[in-house]
Amino acid sequence: MWQISSGRQPFHTEEYDAGLMCQIKEGKREEIIEGTPTVYSDLCERCWKYEPDERPDIQNVVSILQDIAFKSETQTQVDNVELAYEENVLTMNNPSENYLTLDNYLYIDDIDDEVLNMMSFKNITASISNSSRVSYQESTNLLDSVTVDRLIEIIIEKHNEGHVIDNKIQQIIHKQIFQLNQNAENFVDWLMDNQNEAKYIWLLGLFYYYNILNVVTEDDEFKAFKLFLKASKSNFPIAQVYLANCYIEGYGTKKNEYFAFECYKRSVENKENKNFIGQFYLKYCVGIRNNEKSTHLNKESAKKGRTRNIFGKKEVKVFKALLTRKFNQHCTFYVGQILIRISSRKSAIFYLEKAARSGNKIAQHNVGCCYRDGIGGAEKDEKRAFEFFEKSAGQGYINGIFRLAHCYNEGVGTKVNKAIAFMLYKKAAKKGSIEAQNNLGHSYEKGEGTKKCLKNAIHWYEKAADNGNVIAQYNLGICYEQGRGVEKDEVKAFEYYKKSAEQKYIDGKYQLANCYYRGIGTIISEEKAFKLYKDAAEAGYTLAQIKLGALYELGYWTEKDCRMAFSWYEKAKENEIALYNLGRCYEYKIGTERDEFKAFEHYKKSADLGNINGIFRLGNCFDKGIGTDINKEEAFKLFVNTAEKGNPGAQNNLGSLYEKGEGTSKNLDKAVYWYKRAHENGNKEASYNLSRLQHKAIEDSSYDFLEI
């Protein structure tokens, strides 16, 4: 009950270890979720009592729940529901008002759904007395194809009535099993022995898909996908819909929207198809791009008696029409999705949030994205974004888990917690999230939230790269180029950069250009390097813009064009290197008019951002009075700063200040020292200064103490 009301696992933010066990033993409990009905919260608290004798046994729990359900059912008046429906068709969201009963003799009020979905029936039956076990065993023998077929019919009918692929189907399956006095294991055993028909293959996949056995294993997703694929090949329409959904969500396979569309399309066009769920999903796929096709599909639904499928010119109207007939969380979800896609309408968040609050895990994720980025009519609110990601993750949605990990990693709506981020990245990575696989590799590489382990980093980068993740491919290129965690291999580095670039990853393009420029893992190609730099620059990549500017300034691989060089430096002017280059342009009249004041301003901005060349040029401005008053003391400080970091020009100028005693005390030893350092670093002026001092030392005996 607590899990359902909260949408997450108990103590989900804590490590499941011996420490937590001790705390629970000492009385640690979760908090009752706000809005939980009193009858349920009271029952939760009774079950949480420390002394076992104070807790109700399982028979008492079932009895209490049945009593609650009975009272709820008898108090529900159909006339009142119909009146409320007519008055406010777009705001009702109470599940008990959906009229989605199994049939008359199987009816269990929807208020039981939460309870039955939470309870593990195998644990319940394990607690029953021996005599009860005998009766139970006798009842399992009644399971046959008629019973299984009836379950299949009910599931398909519920889909047609408005339930799309969501946890409501899971609840329906649990209810049916419960009414038949069966358990899930018996159904699975029967289905495994009867894999001769597509419908039984599909149903077994469904048991894995919805985790009916309440036992999660790493390959459940793949098993479900494989069974749906097998049933689809046998032309079973609803299996084709579930297969498409696997492709949409990346469930047990790689995401592939094209394959998903084709599966939905096959389901709709299937001659054996008597279902409408495929049309529902297909309308979502094609409605925006092809209104004519969408209208046709809606007309077909109407012809088959599904008057709720009212067709319109815009796909959003179709789903709003569905909303007025059936208060289904998926309808609200898709209205919101479409509104975002067609015009980022402000009302999108209304529909998405409504679906999210009804338990739709994908909607919860998408609402989180809206609040995180301030889109779809939502004001930016990182805390609310975090809460919705948490709900989505609590339902096991892979993207929700990944987003929640990102929140903990970057401190979005919560405090930074690298350990929790690592744990969630690992969980999402194992479930198949390609982005999480890359980020998990990064966590291992940097030692964030876990011990640094380059071997594991490479493992997860490779896994993500093999699955087509462009950032992982780029990261592997860096690792192979630098020999980080692997043996240095420039050819492999080049190959990974190329893969990343071919998928239009801008960082990958830039690094690939560098490979062609420097001959890293491939032969030098001026033409390819220039084209890639230009592509990346035009896409807004700052370093490529600076590189392209330098190529135009120097006339490398293209005609020299200083105005073009200045233009590209200007585009990248938020970068400290570009600011330094713009300072040079203004100082030396490169592609623009000479302006010493602007030169000084740009050097200062570059220096403030820590660029060593910008600091040197700023010192030079103070030394020579370029765009500012001469200030030898300030020049001396700046030259010391950059000379110690290896700048040859600053080393030479510092030597000059020591020689002349400007901005500091005169010191010929230090002057020679810095001239030597600059000379060793290739500064020609420093070489001349050393030669000049040497000749002077020969001519003037007072200089014989100098070791030049």
> Can you give the pLDDT at residue 663?
94
Number of other residues whose CB lies within 10 A of the CB of residue 682 = 9
Domains of the chain: 631-708 (1.25.40)
Using CA of residue 396, residue 402, residue 403, residue 407, what is the dihedral sign? positive
> Can you give the pLDDT at residue 4?
58
pLDDT band at 119; cut points 50, 70, 90: very low
pLDDT band at 245; cut points 50, 70, 90: confident
CA dist 32 to 41, 68, 256, 270, 384, Å?
7, 19, 40, 48, 20
pLDDT at 445 over 90: yes
* pTM > 0.95: yes or no: no
Percent of the chain with pLDDT over 90: 45
Q: Any idea what the Cα angle at residue 686 is, between residues 681 and 691, rounded to 5°?
A: 120
**Tokens representing 431?**
């479930």
Contacts of 80 (CB under 8 A, 6+ apart): none
* Higher per-residue pLDDT: 157 or 128: 157
pLDDT band at 130; cut points 50, 70, 90: very low
> Can you give the pLDDT at residue 25?
58
Q: Of the given ranges (105-114, 286-295, 330-339, 399-408), which has the lowest mean pLDDT?
A: 105-114
pLDDT, tens digit, for every residue of 65-90? 655 554 444 343 333 322 222 222 22
Of 108-117, 133-142, 229-238, 324-333, give the range with the top mean pLDDT. 229-238
Dist. CA 199–CA 190, nearest whole Å: 13
pLDDT at 274 over 90: no
> Can you give the pLDDT at residue 163?
54
Q: Of the given ranges (142-146, 487-491, 550-554, 670-674), which has the lowest mean pLDDT?
A: 142-146
Residue range 225-253: mean pLDDT, rounded: 86
Q: Of the given ranges (58-67, 101-110, 172-181, 233-242), which has the lowest mean pLDDT?
A: 101-110
Mean pLDDT score of the chain, rounded to an integer?
Answer: 76
> Can you give the pLDDT at residue 493?
97
Dist. CA 439–CA 450, nearest whole Å: 13
pLDDT band at 282; cut points 50, 70, 90: very low
Burial call 4-29: b when 16+ CB within 10 Å, e when fewer: bbbbbeeebeeeeeeeeeeeeeeeee
> Can you give the pLDDT at residue 35?
58
